[in-house]
Amino acid sequence: MSEIEILLSQAVPAVSAAVGAYGAAVLTRAEDEVAGATVRLGQRLLERLRRNNPDRPALDAAVTDLAEADDDPDAVAALRLQIRQALRDSPQLCTELAALLPVPRASTSGERTVAVVGDMTGIVSNGDGATNILRR
């Protein structure tokens, strides 16, 4: 998965939550103390996305459409497309958004996946033909 796709998978839900909470007013509303952490994160992400974005009107239109569409998947997809384009156009924006977002957790599902809960004091290996030696 590319860096942009990882950022999108984290940023779009947060921006959507902010739009859901405030509607199109999220474009101009100051941070509200009673807003949840996800909404505040969405507001910060959206502020960064809008700053110095040459296609800001298209991003604003996607936000407004999502606010009016009440979480319609097509409206979310349109917002995702605008955010993807902004990230593609600006490597610096990718860095800024990545700094705001939590570090994604490693996947613990799928074929041959190992998940450790708690302390692990031995070798965990799932490689083909791996030879593991533990010397103490």
pLDDT of residue 45: 92
pLDDT of residue 34: 44
pLDDT of residue 131: 74
Return d(Cα 69, Cα 125) in angstroms, integer: 48
What number of helices (H) and strands (E) belong to the chain? Answer: 5, 0
- Report angle CA 127, 130, 134 to the nearest 5 degrees: 115
- In the chain, domain spans: 3-100
pLDDT of residue 59: 93
pLDDT of residue 104: 62
- Report angle CA 83, 43, 70 to the nearest 5 degrees: 70
Question: Mean pLDDT for each consecutive 10-residue tract of the chain (136 residues)?
Answer: 85 86 70 63 90 90 90 90 93 90 65 68 71 71
Beta-carbon contacts of residue 12 (< 8 Å; ≥ 6 apart): 76, 79, 80, 83
CA distances for 131 relative to 1, 72, 115, angstroms: 29, 51, 20
Encoded amino acid at 58, one letter:
A
pLDDT of residue 35: 55
